[in-house]
Amino acid sequence: MSDMLIDYYKAIEDSSLKMLEAARASDWDGVVRYEGACAVLIEELRFKSQEHELPPEHRKEKTRIMQRILRNDAQIRILAEPWLAQFEHLFDGQPQTMH
């Protein structure tokens, strides 16, 4: 049963890739649809992971999947908010401070 946990990560990655493809096509309804699918999968994974542990042999794969999901998410954000990329350039090389 714990082998199935990695399948959830793979399905989330697949859905995040579909979100990115939809964003590239300016299909924002598609982005929202795939985002909803991701949310359902994440909730199912959260529930299943309370009952089962990810086997050690899948942990590196999980890390690689999570990195790809984060890259997809970053690209979607750039496509969704083009001004964000321009805004970030203003702060390149500036020290980050929190107030």
Answer for the pair 10, 62: CB distance below 8 angstroms, yes or no. no
53 falls within a domain: yes
97 falls within a domain: no
62 falls within a domain: yes
Mean pLDDT within 55-62: 94
Number of folded domains that form the chain: 1
Return the CATH number at 28. Answer: 1.20.58.380
In which band, very low, low, confident or very high, does the pLDDT at 81 lie, cut at 50, 70 and 90? Answer: confident
- The boundaries of the domain holding residue 57 are 3-85
Q: Which two tokens stand for residue 1?
A: 């049963």
- b/e burial code for range 34-67 (CB count within 10 A of at least 16 → b): beebbeebeeebeebeeeeebeeebeeebeebee
Mean pLDDT within 23-37: 94
